[in-house]
Amino acid sequence: MLKKAKILIADDDPLNRLVLEKTLANDYEIFLVDSGEKALTFIKSTAVDLIILDIVMPGINGYEVLIQLKENSTTHTIPVIFISANTSHDDEAKGFELGAMDYIAKPFSPIIVRARVRNQLLIKQKNDLLEMLASIDGLTEIPNRRYLDESLSREWRRSRRAGTPLSVILMDIDHFKRYNDCYGHRAGDDCLKRVAHALVAACERGTDFIARYGGEEFAAVLPDINQHEALKFANKLRNAVNALAIPHKASLNAAHITISIGVATTEFCQVHAEHILLEEADLGLYEAKDSGRDKIIARVIAAS
């Protein structure tokens, strides 16, 4: 059975809440709150697909709630429909300018509310699908560089706020040009897919993922992971690729496919920009290549 979409209704008028709930409860999972503050608190713990937001409420009004939703990277894409007795064109225009998807005037017709909610949810479904497709690498079907960059940016901001460690791993298949030259580009593609899937299978924590960073390069962002743990994980990734034992007779360092790995860690997230982690991991990777390949070099970033 398809999961019902979750809708949060924030309105200080109990009668409006009741009527809206009755209008939508057959088709959706409904959550009710009576203030802007409660709406913001609620969405911190529960991911919803749509918010129906009253504008005039005591405390934080609907406009301010929407501004805060748009500023937060985890809530900025949730569609918001304003519902209000303020029906001047200026009020409506202000709502749209702030990023609302639709505006329903009170008193409202249940049929129109149902139709508008359905439209917004359809648009969201399509947007979510596009977003997912834009984040997946076409060949290996694992997250791509865009996804990794966004995730790194988010995790770096989170670690910086919390003062927690953050590690980044960059991996590169050794002598891959020679592999292509020896076995052909199609075999090279197959090799990339097998390596990608072995790396993904080595991830145990739900928060860890492997991305194809480009060409024959892969990367991982590891929130809350210090250097010791990052090294352990890097070793597991290296072993996972070695265990595939993909023959590589043109390699200059082994008889099978191997990877070199660079690890960068900031223990208390002192780095002032996320790209520094990638640059340090890249330096580690360069050193790993230089010192014979099939190696891991880890670097800790001091405060900057």
Ligand X SMILES: Nc1nc2c(ncn2[C@@H]2O[C@H](COP(=O)(O)OP(=O)(O)OP(=O)(O)O)[C@@H](O)[C@H]2O)c(=O)[nH]1
Q: Rule CB under 6 A: is residue 137 a binding residue for ligand X?
A: no
x/- map, 188-227, ligand X, by CB under 6 A: xx--x----------------------xx-----------
Q: Which of 4, 76, 126, 185 binds ligand X (CB under 6 A)?
A: 185
Q: List phi, psi (to 5°) of 143.
A: -55, 150
Active-site residue, 216 included: yes
Minimum CB separation from ligand X for residue 290, in Å? Answer: 9
| Alpha carbon 177 to chain centroid, angstroms | 32
Question: To which H or E segment does residue 210 belong?
Answer: strand 210-214
Cα–Cα distance for residue pair 211/142, rounded to 1 Å: 6
Which residues are bridge partners to 208 per DSSP?
Answer: none
Question: Is the peptide bond preceding residue 107 cis, with omega within 30 degrees of 0?
Answer: yes
Report yes or no: 230 and 261 within 8 Å, Cβ to Cβ: no
Give 90's Cβ-side CA count (13 Å radius): 0
Cα–Cα distance for residue pair 14/177, rounded to 1 Å: 67
Minimum CB separation from ligand X for residue 175, in Å? Answer: 5
Cα–Cα distance for residue pair 83/11, rounded to 1 Å: 9
Q: Which is nearer to ligand X, 180 or 270 (CB)?
A: 180
Largest separation between any pair of C-alpha atoms in the chain = 76
Contacts to ligand X from residues 264-293, by CB under 6 A: 289, 293
Looking at beta carbons, which residue is closest to ligand X?
188
Q: Rule CB under 6 A: is residue 139 a binding residue for ligand X?
A: yes
Minimum CB separation from ligand X for residue 257, in Å? Answer: 10
Q: Rule CB under 6 A: is residue 249 a binding residue for ligand X?
A: no
Minimum CB separation from ligand X for residue 199, in Å? Answer: 15
Q: Which is nearer to ligand X, 35 or 140 (CB)?
A: 140
Q: Rule CB under 6 A: is residue 180 a binding residue for ligand X?
A: yes
Minimum CB separation from ligand X for residue 203, in Å? Answer: 22
Contacts to ligand X from residues 150-179, by CB under 6 A: 172-178
Say if strands 217-223 and 210-214 run parallel, antiparallel, or are unpaired.
antiparallel
Q: In this structure, what token pair is assigned to residue 130? A: 């596009």
Q: Which of 216, 274, 279, 280 is catalytic?
A: 216
> What is the separation, in whole angstroms, between the first and last Cα of the chain?
52
The contacts of residue 267 (CB under 8 Å, 6+ apart) are 165, 226, 227, 300
Q: Which is nearer to ligand X, 106 or 178 (CB)?
A: 178
Q: Which is nearer to ligand X, 110 or 292 (CB)?
A: 292
Catalytic residues: 216
The contact set with ligand X (CB under 6 A) reads 139, 172-178, 180, 185, 188-189, 192, 215-216, 289, 293
